[in-house]
């Protein structure tokens, strides 16, 4: 089946209006298009100026200042034929992750009930597939319907989707489909060779075409340059429309993967990435995803100040550890932040 054409706008490589970051144009143009030069200029702003600009954008678009709590579970772990250099679920890498079959419906619903009881409002289901088979879609749609019946928002990440599969998920009530770009197009082949960049854009287009919301972000700290981080955010911000959810992952090096020995990214550079994502995609939920445990409380607090307003919540992501729910609640309470479901006067206790 021929994939739908993408509606994203191509990158426009132009020079900034001045040589210095302070003099460069950092405002989106009337058409809503960001240039690479503009986003590079945002990255180059003095840190306090960038944070102030991001906080202004955040307050203007999310006056409640609440934080969305999302729980992510792996409904099918390991055995993936892809070669993503960061992923311990790739069958070709010697890691501690073992291939499992698709979870049964009852176990998924029990996990969803536990997530809701812990305070989550979105339940995300991930499967280590290159692309699902139609028989897999039938099983996942039953999970979507069951989770929706519990009153939770639903999200799934199952790999590449054909248009008919996206339609089936939408008809089952799926709210969000996650399919990350991962990084910039020019750095992409340094990390992944088994799936092209256009494949990812085509899946996003198929999701948009059936009316589902898009969850799309990537991973920073894989060895890319700042310019490549800027190009990655430029591509995201110029999707038409840009994603409703933008997960920003900090690389968690896993033994046995090609990126196991990757040097860590400067934490302040990660905060800058969050701030630029907030400014360029002002109405999106910008999510702190993998790697929060390694960042620590202080850096996470700066990320919230920079405009992050969603977290993956719970003890486990797909295959990596995540700060425990109680620790998250303590941090949010200390910062005076409300959850998405809280009332105007309620803070976490």
Give the span between the Cα atoms of 19 and 69, in whole angstroms.
Answer: 41
Sequence-separated (6 or more) residues with CB below 8 Å from residue 264: 221, 251, 294
Active site residues: 80, 84, 87, 124, 155, 215, 287
Of 168, 195, 250, which Cα lies nearest the Cα of 81? 195
Sequence-separated (6 or more) residues with CB below 8 Å from residue 87: 80, 93, 254, 257
């Amino acid at each position: 089946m021929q994939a739908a054409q993408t509606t994203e706008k191509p990158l426009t490589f132009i020079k900034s209006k001045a040589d210095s970051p302070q003099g460069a144009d950092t405002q989106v143009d009337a058409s809503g298009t960001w240039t690479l030069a503009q986003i590079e200029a945002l990255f180059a702003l003095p840190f306090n100026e960038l944070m102030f600009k991001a906080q202004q954008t955040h307050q203007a678009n999310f006056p409640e200042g609440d934080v969305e709590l999302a729980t992510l579970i792996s409904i099918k772990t390991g055995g993936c034929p892809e070669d993503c250099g960061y992923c311990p679920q790739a069958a070709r890498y010697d890691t501690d992750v073992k291939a499992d079959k698709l979870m049964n419906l009852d176990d998924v619903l029990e996990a969803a009930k536990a997530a809701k009881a812990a305070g989550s409002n979105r339940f995300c289901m991930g499967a280590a597939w290159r692309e699902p088979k139609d028989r897999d879609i039938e099983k996942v749609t039953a999970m979507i319907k069951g989770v929706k019946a519990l009153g939770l928002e639903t999200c799934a990440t199952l790999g590449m989707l054909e248009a008919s599969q996206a339609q089936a998920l939408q008809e089952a009530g799926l709210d969000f489909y996650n399919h990350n770009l991962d990084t910039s197009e020019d750095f992409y082949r340094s990390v992944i060779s088994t799936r092209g960049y256009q494949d990812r854009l085509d899946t996003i287009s198929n999701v948009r075409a059936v009316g589902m919301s898009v969850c799309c972000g990537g991973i920073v700290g894989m060895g890319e340059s700042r310019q490549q981080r800027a190009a990655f955010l430029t591509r995201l911000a110029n999707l038409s429309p840009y994603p409703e959810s933008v997960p920003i992952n900090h690389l968690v090096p896993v033994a046995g993967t090609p990126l196991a020995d990757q040097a860590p990214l400067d934490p302040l550079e990660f905060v800058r990435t969050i701030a630029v994502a907030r400014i360029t995609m002002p109405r999106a939920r910008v999510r702190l995803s993998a790697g929060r445990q390694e960042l620590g409380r202080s850096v996470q607090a700066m990320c919230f100040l920079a405009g992050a307003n969603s977290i993956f919540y719970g003890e486990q992501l797909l295959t990596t550890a995540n700060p425990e729910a109680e620790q998250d609640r303590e941090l949010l309470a200390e910062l005076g932040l409300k959850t998405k479901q809280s009332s105007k006067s309620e803070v976490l206790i």
